[in-house]
Amino acid sequence: MARLPQRRRHQGTIRPGGPDWAYLPVEVPDGVGELAVSYRHDRPPTPPGVPGNVLDIGVFDERGAGPQEPPAGPGMAGFRGWSGGARDRFAISRSAATPGYLPGPIGPGTWRVVLGPYTVAPQGLRWEVEVTLGEGPPGPAFVPDPAPERAAGRGRGWYRGDLHTHTVHSDGTRTPAELAAAARAAGLDFVASTEHNTASANLGWGRHAGPDLLVLDGQEVTTRDGHWLALGLGPGAVVDWRHRAADGGLGRALAGLHDRGGLAVAAHPFCPFPGCGWAFGYQGLDAVEVWNGPWTPDDEAALEAWDRMLAAGALAGRFLPAVGGSDAHGSGDRVGLPHTVVLADGLDRRSILDGLAGGRCWLAGSAAVGLRLEAAAAGRSAGIGERLAVPAGQRVAVRLEVRGAAGCLARLCQAGGPVLEAGLGGGDTATVEWTTVAGPGAWVRAEVRHPPAAGGAPGAMVALTNPVLLGPAGT
């Protein structure tokens, strides 16, 4: 039996252009009850526009740090937690762990502290890690309490949910209880837990979910070439984030996620921060986040790119659905701004994911906003995410009903851009009607915006729909 505590200090320097990940082996003897790690790194000044040093951290246990390949599904056998650059220390024992990390036995063998240089200054990044092996606090073994896969719901109907949120389990400041309270206050029916590169929050959502709030287990897969949301993981599952656009790792990760019935969403694809811009392309993805937090030029760019994808995909009879999420991190970020409104058979994991995958959803900045888009012809009708299967050349009546957007502007859009813009007046409800023609690759979508900003720039988004396809299948 080892004498405890033991403290070990490690130092090193990471140079610009080095590997994305460095693995620091830690030999853990038998009888250790707690592993605690603290770290620091230098922050030398850099010229304007040159990123400084940022160093992420996480840990793998004695089972190894390699990826878990399909068909076993997403996850890494030895993964025990990740905090990125959000905190400078963590501890793990059989009964508890720092948020972002997974409680459980401290098995003997070679553990690996993983260092991820997010950005490195021209001078290099000097780091120091201290590992303490101790007896650990007394207490019973940790027992997971995951969220149930079903809430009460209202049968088939429209359900509101925020697909992109953070808590103290990654770089957010809300606790899970505070996030759940904020979701309820925002009038949401469901929320997705999407912490950066960890599943620790998903092991404890059971005490915060309930008949009125469904929690979807997820993860924000935070790579160096962009971020994506893995939705519907199931409790405890983790997706490996250690891939680049050129190495084929995304395809392997998507295969594992899809084997579990989950969905992949490209997150904030035009975010200008280092590592956030989307570089992977969209093949194999299930949706794209075109609205992230308060409406900004990044979202405008995402909407323009998505419109181009709609025009190309509709000719083949398909489209990549658009979704939105608040990406709320702190108390100043409003949960539910925006959120995604999904037509689902019930308030359960499978039904919500199926509605999202089918594009039967629209985006709203507030639960006070209601919307209905319908196209009708020849005695048939279709709504958001559906196809109005009528012959090419058939005249189609389009009707948009909006609630809770007085003083705003409604737009109907097709492949060439907006085809109709109408003021919604001062009443609580308004209706816009328009006639078009079905044809190969034809579709119509709607958006509601605030009036134009100063200088004539488009106003901020209030609501945005996925398209209604107009024409027979295969056209």
Say whether pLDDT at 134 is over 60.
yes
Domain ranges of the chain: 6-134, 144-367, 369-475
> What is the model's pLDDT at position 313?
86
> What is the model's pLDDT at position 1?
63
Does domain 369-475 fall under CATH 1.10.3210? My reply is no
CATH number attached to the domain at 144-367: 3.20.20.140
Say whether pLDDT at 2 is over 90.
no
> What is the model's pLDDT at position 455?
80
Model confidence over 364-399: pLDDT tens digits? 999 999 999 999 999 999 999 999 999 999 999 999
Say whether pLDDT at 74 is over 70.
no
Say whether pLDDT at 71 is over 50.
no
If you average pLDDT over residues 285-296, what whole number do you get?
Answer: 98
> What is the model's pLDDT at position 138?
86
Average pLDDT of the chain? 95
Model confidence over 160-194: pLDDT tens digits? 999 999 999 999 999 999 999 999 999 999 999 99
Model confidence over 426-455: pLDDT tens digits? 999 999 999 999 999 999 999 999 999 888
Say whether pLDDT at 234 is over 50.
yes
pTM of the model: 0.96
If you average pLDDT over residues 121-131, what whole number do you get?
Answer: 97
Distance CA 364, CA 101 (A): 33
Is residue 43 a contact partner of residue 162, using CB atoms and an 8 Å limit?
no
Name the nearest CA neighbour of 325 among 336, 314, 317: 336
Is residue 433 a contact partner of residue 475, using CB atoms and an 8 Å limit?
no
Q: In what order do the strands lie in the sheet with 109-119?
A: 22-28, 109-119, 54-60, 79-84
Say whether pLDDT at 32 is over 80.
yes
- pLDDT higher for 457 or 107? 107
Name the nearest CA neighbour of 446 among 462, 470, 465, 432: 465
Under CATH, to which class is 6-134 assigned?
mainly beta
Which residues, in sequence order, are CB contacts of 308 under 8 Å at separation 6+?
Answer: none
> What is the model's pLDDT at position 107?
97
Q: How far is CA 410 from the centre of its chain?
A: 28
Model confidence over 269-286: pLDDT tens digits? 999 999 999 999 999 999
